[in-house]
Amino acid sequence: MTIVLEAARTTTGEDSYYLVKDPDGKVKRHTRASNYTKVLDDDYLLRRNDDRMLAHGVGKRKDLAQLARSHDPRTDRDVYDQTIIPSARAAAETDARANHGTSFHKDTELLDQGAQPVALDPDLAHHYRAYIDTITRLPFAIIHEHTEQVIILDGYQIAGTIDRVVEVLEETTITFKTGHTVHLLPGDRIILDIKSGRWGLEYSALAWQMQCAIYAHHTATWHPNPAAPKDPERGQRGPAVDGLRREVALVFHLNIDDPDATPDLHWLDLEHGYDAFLCAVQVKEHRRLAKRGTCLYTDHLPTAVEVQMEAWVRARLAIVGEHQHAKACLLRQWPLRNPDDSLIKYGDQPTAEQTAALLALLGRIEAEFGLPFCPQPGSQQPTPATKE
């Protein structure tokens, strides 16, 4: 039997973003859904565990302790970020746990397609059998065409990957502790999310609800070109998964460090999850605008004209930023620079010289690329003539 898995993920680099097309067909970065699920996390206990594992890793490697003792964490950050911390995590085997989890996650796809547990990894055969036994007795049928389905949530530029979509085979009623009741009928489709980490519902309930709620509200699917899965220009958008319920999802959690291999199944209230997601959107926006809520103390107060000119520059920068080649040209010729030639942002309370330099450059770029002209604040716009 030949088993083929489509490499649908199109994440790139440390930021783990997706490169997919927007509704206009333009390839744009889309933030991973998990970047939103972490915004509201109460991660105190998780961070304490992470600190302990890091200290344990340093303790197991005398050379790392010597490196840490001889390097100042305030000035030698690269030594810590690139050598000490990654090596300490490796010594504590935190990466090994993550890799085992990723492997188990991918192997479940093979199990769904008929692979034998022992043939995959004899050390995890007990966990594989527990997965098969649990999945096969549930009153749901896996829709294989949507396994590891990349989805897009337009309007927020978010993308993610659904583990499974399953079809309901029997009438099912779910009542949450809040009193919220969901009634599923045969033929309905829901998300089945698979988790294999050591942390379960007690630490992850909100994050799981938010993640699945984002998936359930997706507006399009993404289909990489099999011949070039990493080239987003050759990929295609598709319609949203038909018949997917937005109110509820099911999570299958099996800790791969559990010697008994006992799965936990939990229903997730996606209405609560989506409300939390919208709250996370607001939190991220507040964080983005935080620096705009401060300004340097100065004896000089900007004049009304200076305020208008600053707003004019920002409006024109926004227009240029929407044009890929014009934006690249702007960055190459950016006039605001430090003595070492590094770029300076156009910040709060810019000087008149900074504003003038940018206005001159913007005029040239707008003309070169034929960009729409943004009227100067306070200028009178001509009104179309009307017939008498």
pLDDT digits (tens, 9 = 90+) for 267-320: 999 999 999 999 999 999 998 888 778 777 777 778 888 889 999 999 999 999
Do the domain assignments include residue 88? no
C-alpha 155/C-alpha 225 separation (Å) is 24
Does a structural domain hold residue 82? Answer: no
Residues of the chain with pLDDT under 70: 1-15, 45, 93-102, 118, 378-388
CA distances from 10 to 13, 20, 235, 243 (A): 10, 8, 10, 25
**How much is the pLDDT for 378?**
63
DSSP letter assigned to residue 267: E
Alpha carbon of residue 370 to chain centroid: 34
Give the DSSP per-residue string, 312-351. HHHHHHHHHHTSHHHHHHHHHT---B-TTS-B----SS--
Domain of residue 271, CATH code: 3.90.320
Task: Indicate the SS3 state at residue 362.
Answer: helix
Helix axes of 324-332 and 352-369: crossing angle, nearest 10 degrees: 140
Indicate whether 43 belongs to any domain: no
Q: Which of 220, 103, 80 is nearest to 150 (CA)?
A: 220
Please report whether residue 239 resides in a domain. Answer: yes
Instruction: Give the whole-angstrom CA distance, residue 42 versus residue 38.
Output: 9
Q: Identify the pLDDT of residue 214.
A: 97
- Amino acid identity of residue 180, one-letter, is H
The domain tally of the chain equals: 2
Q: What is the pLDDT of residue 4?
A: 29
Residues 116, 252: one domain? yes
Q: Give the whole-angstrom CA distance, residue 202 versus residue 49.
A: 15
The token pair that represents 192 in the structure block? 């089945």
Q: Say yes or no: 199 and 331 in one domain.
A: no
- With contact defined as beta carbons under 8 Å apart, do 104 and 124 qualify? yes
Q: Tally Cβ neighbours within 10 Å of residue 177.
A: 6
Is there a single domain that holds both residue 279 and residue 313?
no
Number of residues that make up the chain: 388
92, part of any domain: no
- What pLDDT, on a 0 to 100 scale, did the predictor assign at position 217? 98
11 vs 8: CA distance, rounded Å: 9
Residue 3 has, within 13 A of its CA and on its CB side, a CA count of 13
Res 100: pLDDT: 60
- Reported as a single tens digit per residue, the pLDDT across 257-269 is 888 889 999 999 9
Domain that holds residue 117: 11-32+101-283
Residue 86 maps to a domain: no
Same domain, 118 and 262: yes
pLDDT at 387: 44
Amino acid at 211: Q
Phi and psi at residue 32, to the nearest 5°: -70, 145
Q: Which of 220, 253, 273, 216 is nearest to 36 (CA)?
A: 273
Query: Does residue 274 share a domain with residue 139?
Result: yes
Question: Are 250 and 315 within one domain?
Answer: no
On whether residue 49 sits in a domain, the answer given is: no
